[in-house]
Amino acid sequence: MILAILDFEGPAVRRRKAMNLRAGPENKLGGAIGMTFKDLQHEYTRAVFVGVVAPIMDKGTMKVLRSSCH
């Protein structure tokens, strides 16, 4: 099962930075920046997004970043 996920022939685990995703009304690179997971799920119907937060980031910083994305 793990090899089937990692072989990139079909459904697979891939990683992309938000700045390298095409999204938004103009479908431009970086258009995903500032979008919510829900918005991205509507843009990419066959993808599941996973967010990663740096372990050194405190909860206060995460709240500020989160509120600035809406």
pTM recorded for the entire structure? 0.53
Q: Residue range 60-69: average pLDDT?
A: 59
Burial of 32 (0-12, 13-18, 19+ CB in 10 A): buried
CB 49 within 8 A of CB 37: yes
Q: 54 in helix, strand or coil?
A: coil
What are the tens digits of pLDDT across the range 20-60?
Answer: 889 988 999 999 888 888 888 888 888 877 776 667 777 77
